[in-house]
Amino acid sequence: MIEFEALAEAMGDLDEDVMVESLTQVMDEGGADAQKALEACQKGMDIVGKLFEDGEYFVGDLIYAGELMTKAVDILKDALVTGGDSGEKKTKMILCTVKDDLHDIGKNIVRSMLEAAGFDVMDLGIDVPAGKIVETAKKEDIHIIGLSGVLTLAIDSMKNTVDAFKEAGMRDQVKIVIGGAPVNAEVCEQTGADAWASSPQTTIHYCKEWEQALA
């Protein structure tokens, strides 16, 4: 029987050896505790996010944490697929880097942490035009949108995306969070987005809040 608090601490400490050993033990014991183990890893990701916000961890640490989380899910996936809790429908959301911006490191970190938090993330990639985002949201019945951008050019693309939802008559059906280097409260107001995030944890906070409102 593994100690789930110790597993959460190992994830928070980015201790791959302890994490893999613990998760392998869960699977060796039949996988009945796979969901609890995943939740412990998610707690560890919360620790990572907090340490990043406090300036103790850096972007490289977030990337590594995302890789560890992917590995954790991979180890546990057979038990999670058959486990009782896996029947719960995950909330779908869209994540992408907006048109005219090719940066994806921040987006990929956020995607890993959103997936760890239980979201079904449809990653549309980089340089994504507004029309494609609106079309995908409509087709897939998605109500939470995450827009990422690093360049100042991205601000116009974020505004264009919000405007495209208005033109499609869908603005009141979606919640939009924006994030990236040029984003702040002023930019959020300028683009018409519902919220802005300075860290992955803030993004998750808003998405969780909206998920509950949609339930």
Q: What is the pLDDT of residue 145?
A: 98
How many CB atoms neighbour CB 78 within 10 A? 12
**Residue 197 pLDDT class (50, 70, 90 cuts):** very high
60 has pLDDT over 60: yes
**Residue 85 pLDDT class (50, 70, 90 cuts):** very low
Q: What is the pLDDT of residue 206?
A: 97
Of 197, 126, 191, the residue nearest 158 (C-alpha)? 191
Q: What average pLDDT does range 1-22 have in this prediction?
A: 94
Q: What average pLDDT does range 17-37 have in this prediction?
A: 94
Distance CA(141)–CA(149), nearest Å, equals: 24
CATH topology for 4-84 is: 1.10.1240
Q: What is the pLDDT of residue 81?
A: 58
1 has pLDDT over 80: no
**Residue 39 pLDDT class (50, 70, 90 cuts):** confident
Tell me the whole-structure pTM to 2 decimals: 0.74
Q: What is the pLDDT of residue 211?
A: 96
**Residue 69 pLDDT class (50, 70, 90 cuts):** confident
Distance CA(115)–CA(120), nearest Å, equals: 6
How far CA 52 is from CA of 106, 135, 157, 202, in Å, comes to 13, 34, 28, 12
E-state strands within 14-113: 92-97
**pLDDT above 90 covers what percent of the chain?**
68
Distance CA(47)–CA(85), nearest Å, equals: 24
What CATH code would you report for 92-214?
3.40.50.280
86 has pLDDT over 70: no
Fold match between domain 4-84 and domain 92-214: no
Q: What is the pLDDT of residue 88?
A: 66
Distance spanning both ends of the chain, measured CA to CA: 35
Q: Tell me which H or E stretch contains 137.
A: helix 130-140
Cβ pair 43, 8 in contact under 8 A = yes
Q: What 3-state class would DSSP assign to 83? A: coil
pLDDT in tens, 142-194: 999 999 999 999 999 999 999 999 999 999 999 999 999 899 999 999 999 99
Q: Where are the domains of the chain?
A: 4-84, 92-214
Q: What average pLDDT does range 17-36 have in this prediction?
A: 94
